[in-house]
Structure 1
Amino acid sequence: MTLFVQQLINGLSLGGIYCLAAIGLTLVFGVLGFPNLAHGALFMVGGYVTYTLLVDVGLPYVVAIVCAALVLAVIGVVFERLIFHPLRNAPHTHHMIATVGVMFFLISLVQEIWGSGFLRMESPFDGRMTVAGAQISSQRIIIILTAMVVLIALTLFLKRSVHGQAIEAIEQDRTGAALVGINANVVSMVTFAVSFALVAISAGLVAPIQLLSPGMGESLSLIVFAIIILGGLGSLPGAIIGGFVIAMAEVMASTYISVGAGQAAVFIVLMAVLAIKPTGLFGMVEQR
């Protein structure tokens, strides 16, 4: 029972990381209609920026994460204006090729600045808590609580703010949103800023329990794409539920079967769901 509780907490913390990363990717796909293949590389950049602000600049941990999110948000706006806005009338294949170019650029940039070795970022929350007899690191509790707060704040932003409602309007009907005067250019910039900020927060949270490296975003990219397909392309509730389902399947299979089984469980769950509901948990069948 103690092992189960410990792995349950581990699954919830990993699910929080997956949710934050998957929601950012879902927002871009829902608004712009193409997957950002550089999402894993942005996760990596978010981790390194947080590390620099914490270790080199000396900012407190929470402030470093917030500042890293702001830095990534600005980068998101710059990328949208310089790279994706000029391609707004091009086929989506061109956008995907551009994201691959961004991915390789970011990996090379990180290797040039921070090197190709591993870096460790220490957490100020190095204590442990006892939950039902299981020893849980404080960092994992922080991850769960922060993910909940960010998800609630994001929900309020999408439901209550003008820009958030504009994002949802374009996700539901881009043509109709344009007809009522919603500025698609502004929405695109806001979407990229929010997406990049979310992935920076997720990287900053997980960095103390995972070594930083230029390749740290590669496995995350595959898992996040599996999550948004599982939940339904463009569905925010699907990204949240899919993130926790995938995380739990991965952690429990790794614990009770093997590490390899944990990696395979991600795609076994994905294939099982798609066999029953090809559009994903919350995906809608396109009307023709």
Structure 2
Amino acid sequence: MLILFQQLLNALALGGAYSLVALGLTLVYGVMKIPNFAHGSLYMVGAYVTWALLTDFGVPYFLALGLAAVALGLLAMLLERLVFYPLRGSPGVSPMIAAIGVLFFLEACVQLIWGPDFKLLNSPVTGIITFAGLSLTGQRLLMIVASVLVMLALFYFLKRTTTGATIEAMAQNREGARLVGIPVGRVASLTFFISGALAAVAAALYAPTSLVSPSMGEIMNLKVFAIIVLGGMGSVPGAIVGAFLLAFAEIFGGVFVGANFADVVGFAVLVIVLAIRPQGLFGRTA
């Protein structure tokens, strides 16, 4: 039973990080109706920016996290203006191909600047918290608390502010939002900013528990796309539920099946759910 609760805590930490990345991708898809295959590269660059701020400039961790979030938000806005905005009237496959190009371009830039070697991002929160026979590292506790706070802040922004309401209006009907006077271009840029910032926060929280590498964006890309398909394309609650479901499948699959098959178990759950409910857990039927 202790093993069960111990892995439950680990799954909550991992699910929190997955949720933040998936929420950014979900918002962009909801507004632009484009699967942004460059999203994983924003997560990867966010990890490297955080690492550089900590190691090269000696910036305190939480300040580095905030600066990385702003930097990646601005980078995502720049990509929206330079890549996606000019392609807004193009066939559906063109933005996807452009996004894949951005993914490999950013990966090449990171290797050019910081090299192809793995980087170690030391955890800013040391120590292990023990209670009732369970133990949790300070970094994983930070992942749980910070991800919940960020998700609550995002929910408040979307549901209780006028700007958030314009994002939801565009997600429901982009043309209708334009006709009632909503500045769709500005809202699209803001949505990309939020998605980049969320990816950077997730990277800064999760990177100290793993290694930072140029290929980490490709891996995260696969997982977050699995998450949003599992939850239902464009569904914010679905992205959160899908993220935790994938995290639970990976963690418990690693325990009961083997660490080498943890990812296989996660994607097996995806296949099973979609076989039963093709539109995803929170997706709407056509």
Q: Normalised by the shorter chain, which TM-score bucket?
A: over 0.9
Do the aligned residues in 2 keep the contact of 1:230 with 1:280 (CA within 8 Å)? Answer: yes
The equivalent residue for 2:223 is 223
**How far apart, CA to CA, are the structure 2 residues paired with 1:52 and 1:178?**
41
The equivalent residue for 1:213 is 213
The equivalent residue for 1:11 is 11
Runs of 4+ in 1 over 3 A off after TM superposition: none
The equivalent residue for 1:174 is 174
Q: Report the aligned-residue RMSD.
A: 1.0
**How far apart, CA to CA, are the structure 1 residues paired with 2:266 and 2:34?**
23
TM-score by length of 1: 0.97
Identity of aligned residues (%): 49
* Correspondence 1:259 to 2:259: yes
CA deviations over 1:189-231 (Å, ceiling 9, x no partner): 0010000000000000011111111111222111111100000
Displacement of 1:175 after TM fit? 2.0
3-state SS in 2 of match to 1:119: coil
**How far apart, CA to CA, are the structure 1 residues paired with 2:84 and 2:281?**
29
**How far apart, CA to CA, are the structure 2 residues paired with 1:91 and 1:147?**
36
- Report the more deviating stretch, 270-279 or 45-54: 270-279
**How far apart, CA to CA, are the structure 1 residues paired with 2:83 and 2:263?**
34
TM-score by length of 2: 0.98
The equivalent residue for 1:87 is 87
Displacement of 1:159 after TM fit? 1.1
Do the aligned residues in 2 keep the contact of 1:69 with 1:201 (CA within 8 Å)? Answer: yes
Do the aligned residues in 1 keep the contact of 2:253 with 2:266 (CA within 8 Å)? Answer: no
The equivalent residue for 1:202 is 202
CA deviations over 1:24-68 (Å, ceiling 9, x no partner): 111111110111111111111000001111111111111100110
The equivalent residue for 2:70 is 70
Do the aligned residues in 2 keep the contact of 1:50 with 1:65 (CA within 8 Å)? Answer: yes
The equivalent residue for 1:183 is 183
Counterpart amino acid of 1:9?
L
Do the aligned residues in 2 keep the contact of 1:30 with 1:234 (CA within 8 Å)? Answer: yes
Displacement of 1:132 after TM fit? 2.4
Q: Which runs of 5+ in 2 are unaligned?
A: none
Counterpart amino acid of 1:71?
A
**How far apart, CA to CA, are the structure 2 residues paired with 1:141 and 1:86?**
42
**How far apart, CA to CA, are the structure 2 residues paired with 1:190 and 1:39?**
15
Displacement of 1:237 after TM fit? 0.2
Do the aligned residues in 1 keep the contact of 2:126 with 2:137 (CA within 8 Å)? Answer: yes
Do the aligned residues in 2 keep the contact of 1:5 with 1:131 (CA within 8 Å)? Answer: no
The equivalent residue for 1:151 is 151
Displacement of 1:124 after TM fit? 1.9
